[in-house]
C-alpha cells in the first residue's frame, strides 16, 4: 500500500481531492465509488471548490454510492444518499442520471443487490474507489465477522457501527437502522484504483491492521492488501500505530 502521512486532516483531504481531480482530468468518464461518513466531508468540500474553480469537471463521470441503510428512502435525513448529495453531489456537475445508489426501501433487497452488482458491471467496474474505514475496520458496510461477502449484500450492522452512525440520527443509536445494503469485497477489490482516507487517533488501530495486520475477516480492510493500487491518505494521528 502506498501510505502518505499528512500534518493534519485538512492537508490529507486536500491532497486526496487533488488526486481525484487529477484522475478526472485524465479519465473524464470516470466511474467513481463514493462513501458516506464524516471523514470524507472535507474532501468533498474541496472537490466542490475545485469544481467551482473549473478544475474538476464531473459532467461525464458516473457515481456509485457504496452503501445504504435498509428502511430509509433517499430523502431521509439519515440516508447516505442524502448525505453524499448534501456534501458533494449538490456542489458538482455530475448528471443525476449517472448517480447510482442502493434503494433502502427495495421490497426485495436480494433483487436490489443483484441489480446494483449488474449496474456496476455494466459500467465496466469502478475506476476509482474512495473509501473510509470504520473504527472496527469495516469498509462500506462490510462488517467484521466469520465471513465476508464478495457480492453486494444485505448485512446486519454491529452495535458499535450503529453507535458510530448515531450522529446522523440526532445522536440516538436506537434510531439507527439495524441493517444495511453494501457493495461487497469483490467490487471493492476489482476497482482499478483505491484511495482510502483515515483521520484521527480513533482510526489508528484499524489503519495499522489494514496496512500491516494479517488478512482476516475480523478486519475487512486488511483485504485491501490484496489490491495492487491502494493509496492511503492519513493524518499523523491516524498513523500513530503504524
- If one asks whether residue 134 binds ligand GLP (CB under 6 A), the answer comes out as yes
Q: Which residue is nearest to ligand GLP (CB)?
A: 132
Rounded to 10 deg, the angle between the 41-52 and 80-87 helix axes is: 40
Phi then psi for residue 224, to 5 deg, are -65, -15
Q: Which is nearer to ligand GLP, 140 or 144 (CB)?
A: 140
51 is catalytic: no
Q: Which of 127, 138, 149, 235 is catalytic?
A: 138
Instruction: Give 226: exposed, middle or buried? Use CB within 10 Å, 0-12, 13-18, 19+.
Output: exposed
Yes or no: say if 185 and 148 are a contact pair by the CB < 8 Å rule: yes
In sequence order, the 6+-apart residues with CB closer than 8 A to the CB of 85 are 74
Candidate ranges 42-50, 102-110, 114-122, 131-139; the one touching ligand GLP (CB under 6 A): 131-139
- Chain center to CA of 215: 20
| Residue for grid cell 476509482 | 128
Instruction: Give 240: exposed, middle or buried? Use CB within 10 Å, 0-12, 13-18, 19+.
Output: middle
CA dihedral 14, 184, 141, 11 (to 10 degrees): -10
> Contacts with ligand GLP: how many residues (CB under 6 A)?
15
- If one asks whether residue 220 binds ligand GLP (CB under 6 A), the answer comes out as no
- If one asks whether residue 35 binds ligand GLP (CB under 6 A), the answer comes out as yes
Tell me how far apart the terminal alpha carbons of the chain are, to the nearest angstrom: 12
Q: Which is nearer to ligand GLP, 67 or 112 (CB)?
A: 67
Collapse the DSSP code of 145 into the 3-class scheme (helix H, G, I; strand E, B; otherwise coil) and give the result.
Answer: coil
Per CB under 6 A, the list member of 141, 169, 223, 233 interacting with ligand GLP is: 141
Q: Which is nearer to ligand GLP, 37 or 177 (CB)?
A: 37
* Minimum distance from residue 60 beta carbon to ligand GLP (Å): 25
67 is catalytic: yes
Collapse the DSSP code of 234 into the 3-class scheme (helix H, G, I; strand E, B; otherwise coil) and give the result.
Answer: strand
Per CB under 6 A, the list member of 4, 38, 100, 227 interacting with ligand GLP is: 38
Q: Which of 76, 112, 127, 136 is catalytic?
A: 136
Q: Which is nearer to ligand GLP, 15 or 27 (CB)?
A: 15
Q: Which of 200, 180, 222, 151 is nearest to 1 (CA)?
A: 222
* Minimum distance from residue 237 beta carbon to ligand GLP (Å): 13
- If one asks whether residue 154 binds ligand GLP (CB under 6 A), the answer comes out as no
Per CB under 6 A, the list member of 33, 37, 137, 220 interacting with ligand GLP is: 37
- If one asks whether residue 68 binds ligand GLP (CB under 6 A), the answer comes out as no
Task: Please report, as ranges, the residues that interact with ligand GLP according to CB under 6 A.
Answer: 35-39, 66-67, 132-134, 140-141, 161, 164-165
Q: Which residues have a catalytic role annotated? A: 67, 136, 138, 143
Amino acid at each position: 500500500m502506498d501510505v502518505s502521512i499528512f500534518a493534519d486532516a485538512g492537508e490529507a483531504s486536500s491532497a486526496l481531492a487533488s488526486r481525484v481531480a487529477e484522475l478526472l482530468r485524465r479519465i473524464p468518464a470516470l466511474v467513481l465509488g463514493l462513501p458516506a461518513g464524516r471523514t470524507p466531508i472535507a474532501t468533498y468540500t474541496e472537490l466542490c471548490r475545485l469544481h467551482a474553480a473549473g478544475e474538476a469537471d464531473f459532467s461525464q463521470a458516473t457515481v456509485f454510492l457504496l452503501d445504504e441503510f435498509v428502511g430509509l428512502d433517499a430523502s431521509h435525513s439519515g440516508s447516505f444518499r442524502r448525505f453524499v448529495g448534501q456534501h458533494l453531489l449538490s456542489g458538482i456537475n455530475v448528471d443525476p442520471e449517472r448517480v447510482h445508489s442502493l434503494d433502502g426501501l427495495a421490497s426485495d433487497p436480494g433483487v436490489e443487490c443483484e441489480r446494483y452488482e449488474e449496474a456496476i458491471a455494466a459500467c465496466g467496474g469502478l475506476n476509482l474507489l474512495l473509501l473510509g474505514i470504520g473504527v472496527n475496520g469495516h469498509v462500506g458496510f462490510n462488517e467484521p465477522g466469520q465471513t465476508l461477502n464478495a457480492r453486494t449484500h444485505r448485512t446486519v450492522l454491529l452495535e458499535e457501527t450503529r453507535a458510530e452512525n448515531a450522529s446522523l440520527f440526532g445522536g440516538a443509536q436506537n434510531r439507527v437502522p439495524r441493517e444495511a445494503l453494501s457493495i461487497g469485497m469483490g467490487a471493492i477489490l476489482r476497482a482499478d484504483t483505491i484511495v482510502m482516507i483515515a483521520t484521527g487517533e480513533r482510526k489508528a488501530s484499524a489503519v495499522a491492521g489494514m496496512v500491516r495486520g494479517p488478512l482476516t475477516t475480523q478486519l475487512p480492510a486488511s483485504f485491501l492488501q490484496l489490491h495492487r493500487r491502494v493509496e492511503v491518505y492519513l493524518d499523523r494521528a491516524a498513523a500513530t500505530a503504524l
